[in-house]
């Protein structure tokens, strides 16, 4: 998914005649943060979940994008989704950049309190 998003940007950049350096600037996210999220479970044990936040680009405005909770979410997926959000907001004329978060967890296995 990440390669597909990056290839879309490369193709569009080449079509627009952008220099390779400018295309590279758009492909690379502003930052990617990886976190550990400790949660006290109902049974009293502490579980630590892994999370990611990609802030792709904020040239048009603040980073926009939600959080995906899924057992197979990955850093690469979150980067790809934030990249696509940047493109979506730009094409739609919205004053937002692209962002996306993800937590490696199966929400169906958690109680409401967790």
- By annotation, the residues acting in catalysis are 100
Contact 95, 61 (CB under 8 A): yes
CA nearest neighbour of 20 among 31, 32, 9: 9
Work out the end-to-end distance of the chain between its first and last CA atoms, rounded to an integer number of angstroms. Answer: 30
Tokens (6 digits) for 32: 């990617």
């Amino acid at each position: 998914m990440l390669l597909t998003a990056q290839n879309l940007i490369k193709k569009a950049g080449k079509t627009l005649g952008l220099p390779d350096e400018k295309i590279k600037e758009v492909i690379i996210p502003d930052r990617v943060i990886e976190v550990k999220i400790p949660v006290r479970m109902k049974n009293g044990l502490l579980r630590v979940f892994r999370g990611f936040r990609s802030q792709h680009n904020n040239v048009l405005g603040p980073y926009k994008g939600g959080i995906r909770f899924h057992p197979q979410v990955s850093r690469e997926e979150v980067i790809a989704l934030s990249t696509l959000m940047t493109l979506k907001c730009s094409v739609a004329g919205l004053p937002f950049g692209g962002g996306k978060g993800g937590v490696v967890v199966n929400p169906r296995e958690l109680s409401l309190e967790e």
